Chains A and B, each alone.
Chain A
Amino acid sequence: MKVKRFFAALPGRLCLFLAAAVVLIFFSNDFGLVDIQKTAIVLAAGIDREGEEFSLTAQIAVPKGSDRTAGGTSSVEIEGKGETVPDCIRDIYGKTGWVPKLVFCDLVLLGESAAREDVFSCLDFFLRNEYVPNSCRLAVCEGSAKDLLSSQSAVDDTSALALSKLFSDAAQKSGYVMTTSLREFAEGYYGVSGSGYMPYLRALPQEGAQTEASGGQSGQKTGDASSGQTVYTAEETAVFSAGKLAAVLPREQTFALSLLHGNVYAGTFGADGETYVVLKEKGSAQADLAAPAVRFSLDVRLQLYGTRDASAPDAIAKSILSPAQRARAEALLRSYLAGLWEQTAAAGCDVLQLRTHIYRTSPADFPAWKDALFSLPLLSEVDVKSVS
């Protein structure tokens, strides 16, 4: 009887099992098996322009082999050329037979030549492509992106991974690195402000002798300064207007921009042989159309972090700023803000999204002010409070 009942229910059970198996395989992507030997996992893409031609350098992760003493990620840089960025990708495929897989591409690096033209002629492909994450970081570099990606980093075997360290959360909180993602930059570009920013990278020769690779085991050397190892800095910020590089903000103005964005926590700045640490801050930038002016306001809690001269233990214990030090810090921050406004206004770059603010709060005033914005005077309010 039981056997009969079992066989009676068998078709239904088989159907159920089949459906479950199909759903499982369907969702686990086993229909889309990828041959890893034919796939290039692109860690970073560097784009340069030569006139009307684009050149894309893909930094591709390659296995280090079976040597268990070696860790980290090795990479190889392949260059493709073409009239558009997708042409470059196709060129790489044509040259290597590797299918470039961009889903892990966390950095798009633009060479100076690409940044001088509308960068969305380069970024359009990345924005359209469903397989490129919109969260990938953007950066501009001095000189050619190919050279920078091909340089040998002193801190990692792969330059893209070394660069990603510069864009860490801790680096952003220091106030000297303003990172941006493809999504954020595209929102600025297509929004009413028509502006955006990216970190500006420079490669510097590594000073000193031998250096250990971070990914390697102790004792493994990757070379020395004479073999051309480099370190990178991202403490400057490239600002864009209508997609073109408009100016490069020095580190002080990058710091001011970070403060206005409210990004800084435990970031430091120095004045007259003393270093202050920002423990809490709130910044805002607004266009005040009633009394036409641009208002930058900063509310900063500081602590004395270090001095050039020896201090008494009591003073170290309190670390409180004297009125003179507070005034000095205020004046310094005000000068940073003034420099930032001067530079961005001269470049016609609405990096603080003031146009967006006017459009959202006073849409009727927007047509009149969108161009006149940069002629407004700056009123900066800096309130520095000392905390122990």
Chain B
Amino acid sequence: MKLSSRQILFFLAAVTPVGKLILMPPQLAAAARGDLLLPVLAQLPVQAALVFCVLLAARDGRTLHEMLARRIGAWGAAAVSAALALFLLYAAFVPLIEQKLLVQSIFYDTLPSYVVFAPFFVLSAYLCSRPTAGTGRLFDVLAPLSLFGMAGILLFSVGEADFGALLPVGAAGAGGFLQGARRACAWFYDAALLLPLLGRFDYKKGLAAKGAAAYLAGGAVLLAFLATFYGVFGDIAVIQVFAFAKMSHFFAGLTVLGRIDYLFIFSLAFVMIFYAAMPIQGAVQLAADCLPQSGKWLPALLSCAVNAAMLALLYAFNFYSDRIIDLFTGRLFFLIPAAGAASALLVLLLGRRRRES
């Protein structure tokens, strides 16, 4: 069973912005201060164009591996697929660190044991071993949850936001803008997340344009969140690493209503969990496509192995989260945009509109 184009649009419009709410806002605030919207404004059209390319390549109707195999043979296809899978696992690392820190800080009120995040990999291993149709149904569930959570958080926070904090525009200068754009790169790889889904949904007329527009619409929500975030926290935004879970706390009505904002926070946290698992799921899918006869158990074993490796890596670098983030957003910032753009353009070149037989 294939995904529907609706599910792809749901993912692009509602799920992708949620993956950028944890560490990216303070990282941007540290680099560009009140100009934190500008680097994102630069990233969004680029990523939307890449989304357009990948969706256009979906006209071919083949999976990425099939497209590659047709052009460069089975071994070449396996090598490129493996490289893309490694890229997705690399891109997955920052969201995993974010999720781990979020769980430890927001769901617990004193410092919990280090292993509390480990069950995430059980869920991830399960998701990775499921057929792609399940992912589509997941988007149907996650999209309304994401909209509900985002709308609630923004509604509860906007009254406390002083949007004047974004003034004067351009105060951070070109240096701040470039630094912000560089740091944001680690969170913009959404087009690459569509690669494993190629051939698993039917291209309908205009889907590429609709996909890019849906991505930009999600980007607009992200910009609204960032503006509210900086409006609420101003000069201390740089230290607000889990802002989406704190912004609504200042809403005066909570003293009467109780912490109903947790409904929105948990909705977004739920969506984030699945978004963080997506690159791993994509990597497993790409690797499984290379296997001669996937069967039922081989992808499951592959999923367990990949997730166990990610778990081991995450805990091996447990005490080096800051350094890893610095590395990904600093010296190695170019890897994600370069690999993301290269892979999207590659599939655009490989993909051909399939003639109806």
Contacts and interface: CB of A to CB of B under 8 A. Distances in A.
Given A15-B126, A19-B123, A187 B236 contact: yes
A130 B245 CA distance: 11
B122 A363 contact: no
Contact of B110 (A26, A99, A133): A99
A190 interface: yes
Interface stretch (A29-37, A51-59, A251-259, A343-351): A29-37
A202 interface: no
Of the listed residues B123, B252, B266, the one surrounded by the most CB atoms of chain A closer than 10 A to its CB is B123
Nearest to A191: B235
B108 A190 contact: no
A29 B107 contact: yes
A133 B110 CA distance: 12
Given A32-B108, A133-B249, A363-B168, A128 B239 contact: yes
B159 interface: no
Nearest to A25: B119
A34 B110 contact: yes
Interface residues of A, number: 36
Nearest to A357: B164
Contact of B234 (A18, A23, A187): A187
B119 A169 contact: no
A169 B112 contact: no
Contact of B255 (A29, A32, A169): A169
A190 B120 contact: no
Prevailing SS type, chain B contact patch? helix
A101 B246 contact: no
Given A133-B249, A181-B250, A363-B168, A22 B110 contact: no
Contact of A183 (B113, B123, B250): B250
Interface in B234-266: 234-236, 239-242, 246, 249-250, 252, 255, 266
Contact of B123 (A22, A103, A130, A181): A22
Given A134-B246, A181-B250, A103 B109 contact: yes
Interface in B75-117: 103, 105-113, 116
Contacts of B111: 131
Contacts of A187: 233-236
A186 B234 CA distance: 9
A379 interface: no
Contact of B249 (A99, A128, A135): A135
B75 to A, nearest CB: 33
Nearest to A41: B109
Nearest to A131: B109
B171 interface: yes
Contacts of B108: 29, 32
Contacts of A34: 109-110
Contact of A32 (B116, B168, B232, B252): B116
A373 B112 CA distance: 49
A127 interface: yes
B250 A135 contact: yes
21 contacts: A15-B129, A18-B126, A19-B123, A22-B119, A22-B122, A26-B119, A29-B108, A31-B112, A31-B113, A31-B119, A34-B110, A99-B110, A103-B110, A131-B109, A131-B111, A133-B246, A135-B250, A186-B236, A190-B235, A360-B167, A360-B168
- Which 7 pairs of residues, A with B, have the shortest CB-CB distance? A103-B109, A360-B167, A190-B235, A130-B105, A187-B234, A32-B112, A363-B168
Given A19-B123, A32-B110, A356-B164, 5 more contacts: A32-B116, A131-B111, A169-B252, A169-B255, A363-B171
